Amino acid sequence: MSQTFTIARVASQGDGVAETPDGPVFASLTLPGEVVRGDVTEGRLEAMELVQASPERIAPVSPQYGDCGGCSLQHWAARPYLDWKREQVLLALARERIETEVEATVATPPGSRRRLALHARRGPDGRAILGFKGRRSWRLVEVRTCPVADPRLEAAIPALTRLADAFLEHPKSAPTLHVTLTLTGLDVDVTGVERRTGFSGDARTKAIQAAVAADLARLSLAGETLVMTRQPMVAFGRATVALPAGGFLQAVPQAEAAMVDRAVAAVKGSKKIADLFCGAGTFTFPLAEVAPVLAADASAAGIAALKSGVPTAKGLKPITAEARDLFRRPMAPYDLRGCDAIVFDPPRAGALEQVGQIAQTKAATVVGVSCNPVTFARDARVLIEAGFRLEQVTPVDQFLWSAHVELVGVFRR
């Protein structure tokens, strides 16, 4: 039976929420204050009709809007949308009873994403199609244009579709093309392919030919290079680094710059800096303009890439880098001796074990970079209880029009 609701707020995953006596009702693609009508199924509004729109609603720019699962907030005007992201950080901190200055969200422009994960499937007519998963579905939505992507990635979609066809040999293969725009061209790492029976010699040859025809810098399969015409290179501060196959890179250069700038500003005047979960050196090289850096990350390939980039940068303080699993073997106070500033940038799970060790050091400044406000707030509580003060937090909108929020937090002893 159809019912009418008023949306009270937007929840952390980007869905609108109507509060009812029977509990919350979630409605995708809605905004606070909007009146909607539809059928409730397991707490969700289905077959929804928008009865009264919010004045904050704007026209979406993507032709896949509403079908594609990528941009859940493209219909929201910029200012309230960015304010909502800041609010998500405030709410996460409040759950841990943390009060601090939270700056306005740093915006990123459309057409700036340098990394895309494109899923490949065969369509009903047998042709290869590339796209993103549908909203709340495993169905694939074909993508020919993407307003968040760098235009050079968007322009490559036809060639990438031809490439994907080679990886669809086995019916159980569900390839994902992880495409990265580097200084030397596109780097593509493919995952989700049946390796034993789903990638024959003929398929490998076909993939390599398609990669060369597309002028890719490199094509790899789950980190194993199939063909490389040019080494994919990225710039971190003054250094030029050879990106490892399947290696991590921040998705948007402008977001990376905003986070790096704030981390560097926070550690000015330090005598020695630790950069934990350093990857291939996103923060390491800019930090080394301030003081000597001790860098550590679980990725041996990332550490090797970082080391290879050291000779390309002039005028930096010394960099020492170590491949080390900071979840299983966190850096102890002994390892971090002499470091009066520490930067950590962990995965979504946070860095609870490592933060417990940081709390016992004599560091005066700690900078936390996070892609998950909830685990950041949990880790921040550990540092605060050890005598640190969370001085300020800056939200960063790296993943435009999504519910995802990144941040930089500065702690002082």
Q: Where are the domains of the chain?
A: 1-57, 82-108+252-412, 115-233
Spatial separation of the C-alpha atoms in residues 150 and 366, rounded to whole Å: 33
- Please give the CATH number for the structural domain made up of 1-57: 2.40.50.140
Q: Residue 138 is encoded by which pair of tokens?
A: 């495993």
Annotated catalytic residue, options 68, 71, 146, 371: 371
C-alpha of 99 from chain center:
26
Read off the amino acid at residue 275: D
Read off the amino acid at residue 269: G
User: What is the pLDDT tens value at each position of the chain, 413 positions in all?
Assistant: 789 999 999 999 999 999 999 999 999 999 999 999 999 999 999 989 999 999 999 999 999 998 888 899 999 999 999 999 999 999 999 999 999 999 999 999 999 999 999 999 998 898 999 999 988 777 899 998 999 999 999 999 999 999 999 999 888 888 999 999 999 999 999 999 977 666 888 989 999 999 999 999 999 999 999 999 999 999 999 999 999 999 999 999 999 999 999 999 999 999 999 999 999 999 999 999 999 999 999 999 999 999 999 999 999 999 999 999 999 999 999 999 999 999 999 999 999 999 999 999 999 999 999 999 999 999 999 999 999 999 999 999 999 999 999 999 999 99
pLDDT at 26: 96
Instruction: Report the predicted TM-score, pTM, of the whole model to 2 decimal places.
Output: 0.94
At residue 194's C-alpha, the angle toward residues 189 and 195, to 5°, is 75
Which own/partner pairs from 383-389 qualify as long-range (CB within 8 Å, at least 24 positions apart)?
383/355, 383/358, 383/359, 383/411, 384/98, 384/411, 385/359, 386/359, 386/360, 387/413, 388/359, 388/412, 388/413, 389/413
Q: Residue 58 is encoded by which pair of tokens?
A: 């704007």
Query: Among residues 413, 382, 377, which one has the least CA distance to residue 395?
Result: 377
- Is 95 within 8 Å of 77 (Cβ atoms)? no
Spatial separation of the C-alpha atoms in residues 283 and 333, rounded to whole Å: 21
Question: Using CA of residue 96, residue 101, residue 104, residue 107, what is the dihedral sign?
Answer: negative
Other CB atoms within 10 A of residue 42 CB: 6
Spatial separation of the C-alpha atoms in residues 358 and 361, rounded to whole Å: 5
Domains 1-57 and 115-233 share a fold: yes
**Multiple choice CATH, 115-233, 3.30.450.70, 2.40.50.1070, 3.40.640.10, 3.40.50.300:** 2.40.50.1070
At residue 309's C-alpha, the angle toward residues 308 and 311, to 5°, is 90
Question: Using CA of residue 297, residue 301, residue 302, residue 304, what is the dihedral sign?
Answer: positive
pLDDT at 198: 65
Spatial separation of the C-alpha atoms in residues 26 and 48, rounded to whole Å: 11
Spatial separation of the C-alpha atoms in residues 40 and 125, rounded to whole Å: 35
Other CB atoms within 10 A of residue 2 CB: 11
To the question of domain 82-108+252-412 being in CATH 3.40.50.150, the answer is yes
Query: Among residues 334, 333, 368, which one has the least CA distance to residue 351?
Result: 368
Given the DSSP bridges, would you call strands 365-370 and 341-344 parallel, antiparallel or unpaired? parallel
Judge whether 339 counts as a catalytic residue.
no
Q: CA of 163: how far to CAs of 126, 141, 177, 189, 203, in Å?
A: 15, 18, 9, 12, 10
